[in-house]
Amino acid sequence: MSSQVKAFGFGMPWESLYGYSQAAQVGDTVYVSGQLSHDRHGNFVGAGDFELQVRTALENLDLVLRHFGAERSQIVETTVLVRNLRENFDATARLHAQYFGEHRPASTVMGVSDLALPDQLVEIGALVRLDVKP
């Protein structure tokens, strides 16, 4: 029996430009693309403010979760891409821990030299299992 892919997007211009979805569900697994700091109109938020960018990216992750009826406790893995990792690691760790509370998903944090947008300092992707009890 084959599974169908259920894709979700915010309707941002870069989704069609780049040819991707914010998330794709296959069976009980949701693959969430890297979330970044933008508002509902596609405007970048938080130039020069790392903490605001992380918080906004996580708010966007929450919007994706909500679309699939998922909760943070169903995230089993995150991938966090950070510019200037040495400078931003402590804030990354603190904000990631605050977001998840007692839940401890697997996580990979990588320092990168650049991201898609000129002022972008962070991007956060996730793997969600809908069959995990919240």
Domain boundaries, the chain: 5-129
**Looking at residue 44, what is its pLDDT?**
96
Topology given in CATH for the domain delimited by 5-129:
60s Ribosomal Protein L30; Chain: A; (3.30.1330)
User: In the predicted model, what is the mean pLDDT of residues 23-30?
Assistant: 98
pLDDT, mean over the chain: 96
- 117 DSSP 8-state letter: S
Q: Residue 129 above 70 pLDDT? A: yes
Q: Residue 1 above 90 pLDDT? A: no
CA distances from 121 to 30, 44, 85, 97 (A): 24, 11, 9, 18
